[in-house]
Chain A
Amino acid sequence: MNFWRWLGLLPLLLLALPALAHGPLHEQITNVTAELSLRPNDVPLLLRRGELNRLDERWDAALADFQLAKQLAPANPEPLLGLGRLALDQGKLTDATASLTRFLAIQSNHVEGHLLLARALVRNQRASNAVEHFSRALALSTEPRPEWFIERSQAQFSQGDRHLAEALAGLDEGVAKLGPVPTLQLAAIALEMRRQGFDAALQRLDTILASSERKERWLLRRGEILELGGRPGEAVTAYNAAREAFEALPLRLQRSLAMLDFRRELDAKLAALPASPKTLPTK
């Protein structure tokens, strides 16, 4: 490279200098920029820098990279995915929906594409369409995350109580795929309570109880569900079971501040119900 070409790179290097002091993301942007100065039409490099700029919240720079990549490779769907991610990050929901819809028209089995579009649609108050894309992502993925099932159930439920059963079925699909994950069951319990499905809520709670080494809090929750279900006698039994679980804990756990609060809460609940000991015995 001759002197004048090096000189031409100088402004670029000067621009990059402050970035060097700001950690790996900036360092990577600088490195990719240096590579791009030698191959300015390299689409994978442009996509990479666009993504790095997006992560660094340099929105304009990211947009310029993705747009140039799109212009250079109009048949390549990747710039559309980048533009979709970028618009979603910026809250430009219409743009995000448009880019991601076009991306998925080419790459219809792309898990992340469906997830991103679903999230854009949720934020754009189009829950019904979002559910379709969450479902598609869940069907396509071999390793879905619990978050996706919960996001889909929230999208379903946001359409009104008539979608409750659907939302619950979606969470159960998650339990069937991932196992007895408490976060899925807790989300399902909240929905069951909303439709007064107390027995179903209790069954779900039992799966958490089974996987939890410490039972006292879940047994307290069992009592609360029973109380809400108008079954005070069984609630007392559950609270007593919570007390037994509490008493079975090592003293170092029983005496913690959190457990002292727990004990007060349990005392209060038992005291408020008929035919129950008024307080827990003091150790």
Chain B
Amino acid sequence: MTIKLRLTLALLLTSLWLSSPLSLAAAEKLTRGPYLQMPTTNSMVIRWRTEKERKSYVRYGLTPATATNLVRSPGVFTEHVVQLTKLKPDTRYFYSIGYDTNKWITEVGPDFSFLTPPMPGPARPTRIWALGDPGTANTNQMAVRDAFYKWSGRNPDLWLMLGDNAYSDGTDAQYGKAVFDLYGALHRQVALWPTLGNHDALSASSPTQSGVYYDVFTLPTLGQSGGLPSGTEAYYSFDYANIHFICLDSQDTDRSPHGVMATWLRADLDSTAREWIICFFHHPPYSKGGHDSDKKSDSGGRLWEMRENILPILEAGGVDLVLCGHSHDYERTFLLNGHYGTSTNLTSTMILNHGDGRSDGNGVYEKPAILTPNKGAVYVVSGSAGQTEAGKLNHPAMYLSLKKLGSLVIDIDGLTAEVKFIGDKGQGRDYFTLRKK
């Protein structure tokens, strides 16, 4: 082969290599994402981070072959935020991110696709995955993650983080490891809904709505995903099918009964017509784990105040499930109502069902299908997605308390919610059913 021919061939191969999407992926260093945020029935936010300042392009479509709709955010950034709009509800879209019309960082394919939420109202089977205090970025967190993936066999429809998402200080680097790298594949397909924990608050401030937590997440302030506008990312609500989700900030926002968050919560509960109401925040109203909800001094009174001030509003609004973390264990109550004092003040009448809540045990927890205030809620502390810690684990409102690693899975189908605590080896460590009839 002559030198000229060799050179021509080398040039041809080089140009082919440079024009392929895969080569561009290698050429441009993606340092975070892509990850999905703030899904609505007709829009989705896609975020990613690049090493160098680049333009932000997304192409998308109903199939990989037709992913030709182009969206560009003006400007040049390392932190990219692009919102796709005019999407159809309950529809799968395939997407690719890039930095020019012919420079794509990711391939279009099933790994980079998402399903828009269904229209709010009608029921549909929904799987929710909730991780409390996951952010250790260690083998515990990985084991809990992998156990869920294996057990579930499919992506959840929604996933929640119950605070302390990245240890120990919620820094950007810690978020990178414990939140974005560890669940990278899931982030590309399902949007994460987080709440602020005390460790996240070491690098973020709700009072000024600034810092890492607020920088890395795009959360609804105007009721974009359902619910009433809160005007802040610190607390918000959203709908998915027949479920209304409420995220509260138990860490850094005024928890008084007539504070702005409580006022918004009342109005939001008054405005929802969904069949299920699930609320999540970091500090548990009931716990005898690493934290003691009987101690007013514990965590600056946050557990106490959420119980005393916020629970009456939630229960009057018909809440069904309250999910928290903070204590690194698993604790879940009986079907409970009206317990706003310390554990010594728990009376038998506050426990609406003294059973295990299991269909193969002494019966599922039943509530009226009519959205009725004060007909009981189950409170779950699921704060062991990254570590466990010692505690008395003897709160009398709890049906079960475990010092075990794991995460929570909620399957809602119509008027039935099946809740399971899945251990780090896929063990079903607890389960119960809430049924509305």
Contact = CB atoms under 8 A, between A and B. Distances in A.
Interface string A18-59: 000101110010000000000000000000000000011100
A40 B198 CA distance: 26
Nearest to A31: B168
Contacts of A57: 297, 300
Choose among A141, A181, A183, A250 the residue with the greatest number of B CB atoms under 10 Å from its CB. A183
B279 interface: no
Given A23-B291, A57-B300, A178-B221, A250 B273 contact: yes
A112 to B, nearest CB: 5
A257 B271 contact: no
B231 A183 contact: yes
A256 interface: yes
A178 B232 CA distance: 8
Contacts of B214: 143
A253 B273 contact: yes
Nearest to A143: B209
Nearest to B415: A252
A77 interface: no
Given A211-B223, A253-B371, A255-B370, A24 B198 contact: yes
Choose among A28, A250, A258 the residue with the greatest number of B CB atoms under 10 Å from its CB. A258
B47 interface: no
Interface stretch (A7-15, A60-68, A145-153, A229-237): A145-153
B318 interface: yes
Contacts of B299: 23, 25
A136 interface: no
A208 B228 CA distance: 9
B54 to A, nearest CB: 23
Contacts of B260: 146-147, 150, 183
B370 A182 contact: no
B373 A257 contact: yes
A208 B271 CA distance: 10
Interface in B357-383: 368-374
Interface stretch (A93-101, A123-131, A212-220): A212-220
Interface in A168-200: 174, 178-184, 186
A56 B202 CA distance: 13
B437 to A, nearest CB: 11
Contacts of B300: 55-57
A111 B230 contact: no
B171 interface: no
B290 A23 contact: yes
Given A115-B207, A257-B372, A182 B168 contact: no
Given A55-B300, A145-B234, A179-B221, A211 B371 contact: no
Contacts of A213: 226, 271-273
A28 B198 CA distance: 12
B15 interface: no
A184 B264 CA distance: 10
B155 interface: no
A256 B290 contact: no
A145 B290 contact: no
B222 A183 contact: no
Nearest to A113: B208
Contacts of B298: 23
Choose among A23, A208, A214 the residue with the greatest number of B CB atoms under 10 Å from its CB. A23
A249 interface: yes
Contacts of A144: 209
Contacts of A24: 164, 168, 198-199
B267 A253 contact: no
B208 A249 contact: no
Nearest to A254: B370
A84 B373 CA distance: 43
B373 A217 contact: no
A141 B199 CA distance: 24
A130 to B, nearest CB: 16
Interface string B212-242: 0010000001110010111111100000000
Contacts of A249: 273
A214 B270 contact: yes
Contacts of A186: 263, 267
Contacts of B90: none
A249 B370 CA distance: 11
B221 A212 contact: no
B28 interface: no
Nearest to B265: A183
A183 B234 contact: no
A146 B271 contact: no
The 7 A-B residue pairs with the shortest CB-CB distance in the complex, in nearest-first order = A181-B231, A146-B231, A212-B271, A178-B231, A252-B370, A255-B370, A179-B222
